[in-house]
Chain A
Amino acid sequence: MTGVSLEQEELGVGLSTPSAADLPPLPDESPDLEAFEQHLAETLREEDASPFGRWRSLPIKTQRIAWGLGALVAVAVSFFLSRRVDWDVYPVGRLALVLGVLSVAWVYAATRSNIPLDRPTRGPIAGASWVLLGLAVPLVFSLMPAAHADHSLSLAGVADDFIPRAVGCLVWGTLTALPATFIILATDRQPSRQRRILAGVIGGLLGNITLQLHCPLTSPMHLVTSHATVGLVLVLVGVGFVLIAARRSGRS
């Protein structure tokens, strides 16, 4: 750059507005705009006619309120209608820690998954990090030593009782997380395989919250196999839908 010192260049100080005046003229890149606009009109009509088109076009705030309410309902059902029977003997500090970390993780991950495109976007490393974190946090809590052994039901879920209890918790966690997870998926403006995986993982965090409120079993084996795996189940469900949808669109 003629007449510009290195210091000026480094600091951006005193730089004139750059110009392309002495570069060759730009070649025309225009396509057939009429055909383009016809296809665009068809695309927008299909979008508005699709089941999730209207959901995707809702304002971001409304979307967040919707999945927030879905999560609140799940938590309320677990707490008010089916609270863990060992509630009175469960260590308060541990309960606060587990619920606090899971709740903050869920709110933050769900909000970040819903960022509009006019904000800075997340790179693939950040996305993968969220998936790993979403799976790791419930696993870490599940691997901690049992919270207590002061309630007879907390010691259940072993031997012949292991599988029925595990399946029951897996179903509970998955079903309670489904409404909010479904809303997050339905309102996603950029659906992709990676984002569906992330939504499943986020759902797993919510499932672990409801299970923490509902399930009295404290055995790490039970927690690892049926609580920490809720996210994996939701991911498989989401991936399954993607594969089915892909096959259908391939056939049509």
Chain B
Amino acid sequence: MAEAGFTTQGASSEAPKRPAGTGKGAAASVSKDATDEQLMEAYAGGNMAAATALHQRYSKVLYGVLTRDLARPEDGSDLVQQCFLQLHRHRRDYQVGRPFRPWFMTIAFNLKRQYFRTKKRRPESELSDEQQQRIGAKDVAADVINARETLRKALAELNEQQREVIALHWFGGIPMPEVSEIVGASLSAVKVRAHRAYAKMRIYISEEE
């Protein structure tokens, strides 16, 4: 079974009435049932506990969505760190009531495009060798390494637009309408890209096997 995309806690339509968190600073608490939108609103107001909650919800999904086509794992850690740093810098631009996930994923994908376009590290994102070793996956079985490499090569068969759609839809478990919003294309175009991409990947993987 393909791994289900990471689902965030608290759908927007089931938002509890109590606020996500009150007060500013690291000491302010947040409700575990808070929606992403409530957490982001609290974060924008200075609640760092809300920030931590968002980091915990989205770290794994960002790794899954952004890093599977990368040749170097340390680039992935760097990139995901940059995503959260940019979220921190953009927090006061968040419009209350706006769906959080497509907004944040748009930031993440725009950042990824720029990150590898310029192919330069930002000074504040430099990870030491020790940090890279700690953050990188440890004790990975050979079959997992092979599976990752096969997937990475299959993704290399796709163009950038197809890779993005696959990353969001398959790795992130994000529904197609939201994918179209994030990548800035029509739903039809996104579906066509996804169909073609999945077909190419099936062919590649079956040939590898």
A interface vs B, CB < 8 Å?
1, 4, 9-13, 15, 17-33, 35-37, 39-41, 43-44, 46-47, 56-60, 116-121, 123-124, 189-194, 245-246, 249
A111 CB, nearest partner CB in chain B, Å? 15
Q: Please name all residues of chain B whose beta carbon is closer than 8 Å to the beta carbon of A23 when the two chains form the complex.
A: 2, 170, 198, 201-202, 205
The residue on A at minimum CB distance from B83 is A117
* In the assembled complex, B9 has its CB within 8 A of some CB on chain A: no
Q: Please name all residues of chain A whose beta carbon is closer than 8 Å to the beta carbon of B92 when the two chains form the complex.
A: 57-59
B171 CB, nearest partner CB in chain A, Å? 7
Would you call the interface of chain B mostly helix, strand, loop, or mixed? helix
Q: Please name all residues of chain A whose beta carbon is closer than 8 Å to the beta carbon of B137 when the two chains form the complex.
A: 28-32
A46 CA to B89 CA, complexed, in Å = 13
A189 touches B2 (CB 8 A): no
A117 touches B80 (CB 8 A): no
The residue on B at minimum CB distance from A44 is B88
Q: Which of A11, A21, A117 is within 8 Å of B188, CB to CB? A: A11
Give B134-172 as 1s and 0s: 1 = Cβ < 8 Å from A's Cβ atoms: 111110000010011011000000000000001001110
B50 CB, nearest partner CB in chain A, Å? 13
Would you call the interface of chain A mostly helix, strand, loop, or mixed? loop
Number of interface residues of B (CB under 8 A): 75
B117 touches A123 (CB 8 A): yes
Apart from A12-B192, A120-B110, 5 more pairs, CB < 8 Å: A28-B3, A28-B144, A47-B89, A116-B107, A190-B114
Those of B173-194 within 8 Å (CB) of chain A:
176, 184, 186-189, 191-192, 194
Q: Please name all residues of chain A whose beta carbon is closer than 8 Å to the beta carbon of B151 when the two chains form the complex.
A: 24, 26-27
B202 touches A18 (CB 8 A): no
A187 CB, nearest partner CB in chain B, Å? 10
Interface-lining segment among B13-21, B34-42, B62-70? B62-70
A20 touches B85 (CB 8 A): no
| A1 and B199 contact, Cβ closer than 8 Å, known pairs A47-B85, A118-B90, A189-B86 | yes
The residue on A at minimum CB distance from B108 is A117
The residue on B at minimum CB distance from A37 is B55
A117 touches B191 (CB 8 A): no
A59 CA to B44 CA, complexed, in Å = 10
Q: Please name all residues of chain A whose beta carbon is closer than 8 Å to the beta carbon of B28 when the two chains form the complex.
A: none
29 contacts between A and B (CB under 8 A): A4-B195, A9-B192, A15-B191, A17-B191, A18-B194, A18-B195, A20-B170, A22-B202, A24-B151, A25-B1, A26-B151, A28-B3, A28-B137, A31-B73, A31-B76, A31-B135, A32-B136, A32-B137, A36-B59, A37-B52, A39-B131, A40-B55, A57-B91, A59-B92, A117-B90, A123-B117, A192-B118, A192-B122, A193-B120
